[in-house]
C-alpha cells in the first residue's frame, strides 16, 4: 500500500502544536481475532489501563516526538535509504514496565524475528541521526504495547486472562506515523511507507489522511 497508516509520554499523549507533527516510526501489526478478544476482556477487567484498539497495534521502532515539516521531509529522505528484506515476526510472553509493584505499560515480548527487528530499528536510528535528530534517549526494547496506565505513576496489575497464541506475521513495511489526538484516543495516520525488499518507497499524498486500519 502507498502509505499506512511507551511508557507514559509515548505516541498518543499530548495535544498537537500548530505546524508540527507528533510522530513515530513503527511496524504495523495485522489484526488478530484471538488478540482482539483478549484485549476486549482485559479492557472490561482492568479499567485503570487504556488498552490499545486492535487496529492500532504496532511495534514502535523509534518515537520521534514533535517534528517540524522540514524535519519530516529530511527524515523521509533518510528513511527511504533503509535496505532490509521482509521477515516474520512473532510475539509471546506478557510483561510490564514499571516499579514498586505498579505497571505503567503492559506489553508482549518479541520472539521470532527479534534479530532482524533489532537491525531494522538500528537502521531507523541511523536515519534519524542523518536527518539531524538527536540520539534517542531510550534503548530499543522490542515489544508490542497492549496498554498504558491512566495514572502516569502506574497502576496495580491484577492477574490477566491467558494470552492466546498469535500466529507470526510477515513484516513487509516500515511506516512513519503521525499521532493525532481524537475523541477516543490517538489516531495513527500514515505519512510515509517504506516497503521492505522493494527498491522504491512510496509516500502518502497528505499527512492529513484518514486514520489507518493496521
Active site residue 143: yes
Q: Cα–Cα distance between 4 and 86 in angstroms, integer? A: 17
Known catalytic residue: 212?
A: no
Three-state SS at 75: helix
For 9, 48, 79, the CA distances from 130, given in Å and listed in that order, are 24, 40, 10
- Catalytic residue of the set 22, 56, 58, 180: 58
Backbone angles phi, psi at 179, to 5 degrees: -100, 120
Of these residues, 62, 104, 143, 148, which one is catalytic?
143
Question: For residues 60 and 62, what is the distance between their CA atoms, to the nearest angstrom?
Answer: 6
What does the block give as the cell for 206?
Answer: 497528505
User: From CA 68, how far away is CA 21, in angstroms rounded?
Assistant: 7
Kindly list the catalytic residues: 58, 143
Amino acid at each position: 500500500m502507498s502509505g499506512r497508516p511507551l511508557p507514559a509520554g509515548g505516541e498518543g499523549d499530548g495535544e498537537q502544536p500548530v505546524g508540527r507533527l507528533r510522530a513515530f516510526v513503527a511496524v504495523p501489526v495485522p489484526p488478530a481475532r484471538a488478540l482482539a478478544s483478549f484485549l476486549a476482556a482485559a479492557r472490561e477487567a482492568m479499567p485503570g489501563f487504556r488498552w490499545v484498539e486492535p487496529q492500532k497495534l504496532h511495534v514502535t521502532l523509534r518515537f520521534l516526538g514533535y517534528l517540524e515539516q522540514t524535519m519530516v521531509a529530511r527524515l523521509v529522505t533518510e528513511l527511504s535509504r533503509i535496505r532490509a528484506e521482509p521477515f516474520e515476526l512473532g510475539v509471546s510472553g506478557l510483561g510490564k514496565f514499571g516499579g514498586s509493584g505498579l505497571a505503567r505499560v503492559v506489553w508482549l515480548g518479541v520472539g521470532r524475528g527479534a534479530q532482524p527487528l533489532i537491525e531494522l530499528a538500528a537502521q531507523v536510528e541511523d536515519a534519524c541521526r542523518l536527518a539531524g535528530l538527536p540520539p534517542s534517549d531510550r534503548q530499543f526494547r522490542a515489544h508490542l504495547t497492549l496498554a498504558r496506565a491512566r495514572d502516569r505513576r502506574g497502576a496495580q496489575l491484577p492477574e490477566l486472562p491467558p494470552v492466546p497464541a498469535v500466529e507470526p506475521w510477515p513484516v513487509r513495511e516500515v511506516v512513519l506515523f503521525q499521532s493525532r489526538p481524537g475523541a477516543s484516543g490517538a489516531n495513527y495516520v500514515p505519512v510515509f511507507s517504506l516497503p521492505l525488499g522493494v527498491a522504491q518507497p512510496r509516500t502518502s499524498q497528505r499527512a492529513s489522511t484518514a486514520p489507518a486500519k493496521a
